[in-house]
A and B are shown apart, each in its own frame.
Chain A
Amino acid sequence: MTKNSKRKIWHHPWGYPEGSLIAFGLLLTGFLLDFSTGQAFPKPPFPWNVSLFMLLISVLIVAHLNKKSSPFIRWLSSVPAAISALVLFTFISVLMGLVPQKNMGVPSPSNLLDSWAYFFSYIYLLVVLGLSSLKRIWPLEKRNAAYLLNHLGLWLALAAAGLGAGDIQQYNMFLTEGKTTWYGYQGKNETIELPFALRLNDFTLENYPAKIALVDPKTKAILRSAGKPALTDLPLDKLKTIKGFEILATDYLDFAVIDSLSNFIPLIDTGAVQAARLTVNGAVRGWVSPGNFRFPMRIVPISDTLAIAMLKPEAKRYASDVTVFLPDQQQYPELIEVNKPIEVEGWKIYQSDYDERFGRWSRHSILEIVRDPWLPLVYVGFYMMIIGAILLIFQGKKTK
């Protein structure tokens, strides 16, 4: 700051002090607006957001072309402006990282994403980042490749993500085996008729072998051992020791029913449950089972205060086997699985949930469907950032 120390504040060329004051001013204005309006800033849908996007680009280009005559515009594309914009945006992020956030519409410390303060910091960042990118676009030079990919890529991703927010549609679909559904639901009231229909042919769920735990026989609460819950994977092929008890599962049935003598026998039947026969410290102690809607829970008591129980099994994979129906009478089968969404008529369809009371016997499947028309633009930004990052790794820092 030695160079600028004799300069009065707000006299050009601006530097860091002006940046700090502008950032602080934006933050304060934002919070005041939040406080006085008590309303979220508007997130306009199509076609308003496209117009705004065009307007933003035009304003940035015009500003860029006039930067020779305006020291303010030159400052906006400088490093001090970039740092003030980054610090402001990061400051609000830190608040979001410290105060638990819930999205509820009204801006508050626990809903900063809807606050004007967030909005201003976002716009400020977009303007500064946009002007900085334009600075190196023309003449296009190879040595600016990493700079442009990183700055323009981030700008594109941020701009498209923010302006596209108003166009994102997100609904749930509730499917039942054998039935065809063409409605999406949001919350309790909002319903949408979809340009396609899905018939759930089969919902499948595979479990991991259920874990076992030491529990209190009365409350069934999991006990703790050395500060952690006393539980372990099912000890199928080798002994496991919890709290001094050597436990081994001599039999494990993934699908079992209880026979008339109260024993578990293997049978694939609706409501079949997991069960394991345990030996504890070498002695056979009987069956454990988590139980389900058909069979009761079964524990192995060890003492008045201690028992071994089997926990509800964790899902390994679950999927919906569906038939897709399109408006033009076309139909085809699809499998929708976690991490493997499908795309139909511009909607991405995700396996989201099922009827947890019934677990693998659930006849219901809950899907999440999302339409985000701005996604391709965001992804172009992401891909630019990926190439930019790779260039950064190989080229390293370029000095002035």
Chain B
Amino acid sequence: MWYYFEIFALISVIMWSVALVFTVWQKSKTIKLISEVLSLGGFISLLVFIILLWINLDRPPMRTLGETRLWYSFFLFLIGYVVYKRWNYPWFLSYSLFLALVFIVLNWLKPEAHSTTLMPALQSIWFVPHVIVYMIAYAFLGVSSLIGFKALVEHSKGRPVKLLLDFGDNIVYLGFGFLTLGLVFGALWAKEAWGHYWTWDPKETWAFISWAVYMIYMHMRYHRPQKETFHIRMLAFAFIILLIAWFGINYLPAAQTSVHVYS
């Protein structure tokens, strides 16, 4: 169980679910308008929830996996909505709404004991920027993976995917920029907290691996843009490596000594 204000998270889920249905069956202008209003309403409600949680815990709600999932949903929707408005892809809003919903609902299925304690090593000015920048990166790259799956479907139907892949490049470059910031911020923080900027802690190792995988993808795209089948698959599945770095790592034997294994 969370707190009384989890009602705001519930409101988000309801509004987004209805919005999702409306974006899929977008028959008229009115329905389109309603779906946008509901999406934004859900977003604001989630924001209220996060702020209240922050105040209630008296620390940034970024320590546990569940807390990072909240931010993930938050940025995923924000990015999805901006992309949808900017490039006018209606399917895009549905996809990001769906993914954002999945991550909020996960918090209901796996409720956490929220604790106000924050170990001294986490009490740093780097804590908030490090986590936020990473969640933005994960959200962009999650979105790029959606584009990958969309391209996978289009490709199997024999439709051209060049435009989708070019669009994916924009998102990957944005995500990779934030991923780099997260990595370097983490290193600068580690030097202040633990005495060294890089110790190949399991989380660091997997963060490096996911960074490298996107680096490989970007170089391949640049060098051999015509190898579309390869790119589509890699774009869609690179995100899995990222998910390992984010929470899959908690289940790996190598990670049991990590300073990053969240409670």
Q: Does A388 contact B (CB under 8 A)?
A: yes
Given contacts A314-B119, A318-B120, A339-B192, whether A93 and B208 have CB atoms under 8 Å apart is: yes
**Is B14 an interface residue, CB under 8 A from the partner?**
no
Residue picked from B116, B191, B256, most chain A C-beta under 10 Å: B191
A249 contacts partner chain B, Cβ-Cβ < 8 Å: no
A98 touches B254 (CB 8 A): yes
Segment with Cβ contacts to A, from B74-82, B86-94, B151-159, B176-184: B176-184
How far is it, in angstroms, between the C-alpha of A233 and the C-alpha of B114 when the chains are bound? Answer: 8
0 or 1 for each of A340-363: is its CB under 8 Å from B? (1 = yes): 110000001010000000000000
The answer to whether A389 and B205 have CB atoms under 8 Å apart is: no
User: Is the beta-carbon distance between B119 and A315 smaller than 8 angstroms?
Assistant: yes
User: Is B33 in the interface zone, CB < 8 Å from A?
Assistant: no
List the B side residues contacting A96 at CB < 8 Å: 200, 205, 254
Asked if A315 contacts B200 (CB within 8 A), the reply is no
**B223 at the A interface (CB under 8 A):** yes
Encoded as 1 (CB less than 8 Å from any A CB) or 0, chain B from 81 to 125 comes to 000000000000000000000000000000001011111110110
Contact A393:B177 (CB < 8 A) given known A101-B200, A208-B116: yes
Query: Complex: how many Å from CA A291 to CA B250?
Result: 32
Report A125 CB to chain B, min CB distance, Å: 10
Contacts of B206 in A (CB 8 A): 97
Question: Is B252 engaged at the interface, CB distance under 8 Å to the other chain?
Answer: yes
Residues in A neighbouring B123, C-beta threshold 8 A = 317, 338-339
Say if the beta carbon of A87 comes within 8 Å of chain B: yes
Q: Is B37 an interface residue (CB 8 A)?
A: no
- Choice from A82, A97, A340, A393 contacting B254 with Cβ under 8 Å: A97
- Which residues of chain A come closer than 8 Å to B198, judged between CB atoms? 161
What sequence of 0s and 1s flags, for each residue 386-397 of chain A, a beta carbon within 8 Å of any chain B beta carbon?
A: 101110110011
Complex Cα distance, B209 from A99, in Å, reads 14
Residue among A113, A341, A372 making CB contact with B192, cutoff 8 Å:
A341
Would A100 and B254 count as touching, CB distance under 8 A?
yes
**From residue B52, how far is it (CB to closest CB) to chain A in Å?**
15
A110 to B113, CA, bound (A): 34
Q: Determine whether the beta carbon of B119 is less than 8 Å from that of A396.
A: no
| Number of interface residues, chain A, beta carbon within 8 A | 58
Task: Answer whether residue B65 sits at the interface, using C-beta atoms and an 8 A cutoff.
Answer: no
Structural contact, A389 and B181, CB atoms closer than 8 A: yes
Give the distance in Å from the alpha carbon of A3 to the alpha carbon of B213 in the complex.
26
* Least distance between A211 CB and chain B CB atoms (Å): 7
Q: Give the CA-CA distance A393 to B174 in the complex, in Å.
A: 5
* Contact residues in A for B208 (Cβ distance below 8 Å): 90, 93
State whether the Cβ of A231 lies closer than 8 Å to any Cβ in chain B.
yes
A80 at the interface (CB under 8 A from B): yes
Q: Does A306 contact B (CB under 8 A)?
A: no
B257 interfacial contact with A, CB 8 Å? yes
Q: Could you mark each residue 214-242 of chain B with 1 if its beta carbon is under 8 Å from any beta carbon of chain A, else 0?
A: 01101110110100000000000000000
Residues of A within 8 A of B6 (CB): none
B66, CB-defined interface residue at 8 Å: no
Contact A400:B216 (CB < 8 A) given known A100-B254, A389-B180:
no
Nearest chain B residue, comparing its CB with the CB of A225: B113
CA distance A315 to B197 in the complex (A): 24
Q: Does A188 contact B (CB under 8 A)?
A: no
Q: Which residues of B line the A interface, CB within 8 A?
A: 1, 113, 115-121, 123-124, 169-170, 173-174, 176-178, 180-181, 184, 187-188, 191-198, 200, 202, 205-206, 208-209, 212-213, 215-216, 218-220, 222-223, 225, 249, 252-254, 256-257
Instruction: Beyond the given A370-B195, A397-B173, please list 14 additional residue pairs across the A-B interface where CB-CB is below 8 A.
Output: A79-B223, A80-B223, A83-B216, A83-B220, A98-B252, A98-B254, A211-B117, A315-B119, A338-B121, A370-B196, A375-B197, A379-B188, A390-B181, A397-B170
